[in-house]
């Protein structure tokens, strides 16, 4: 393999790696946003008084 072909091959690998990292960052940002939304939904659904008083009279 000559130097020019090696250089092109390395350049293509670098571009592929940068694209892979960009996709991974996008996926991580999306997951983080979804976790924040899920946390907000869970915080809103919590009712600390629910279940503390049970009416057992028929």
33-52 burial code (b ≥16 CB/10 A, e <16): eeeeeeeeeeeeeeeeeeee
Q: Which two tokens stand for residue 47?
A: 């009712």
* Per-residue model confidence as pLDDT tens digits over 2-47: 999 999 999 999 999 999 999 999 999 999 999 999 998 888 887 7
pLDDT of residue 58: 65
């Amino acid at each position: 393999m000559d130097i020019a072909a090696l250089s092109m091959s390395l350049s293509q690998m670098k571009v592929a790696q940068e694209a892979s990292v960009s996709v991974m960052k996008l996926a991580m940002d999306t997951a983080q946003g979804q976790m924040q939304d899920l946390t907000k939904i869970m915080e809103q659904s919590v009712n600390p008084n629910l279940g503390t008083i049970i009416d057992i009279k028929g």
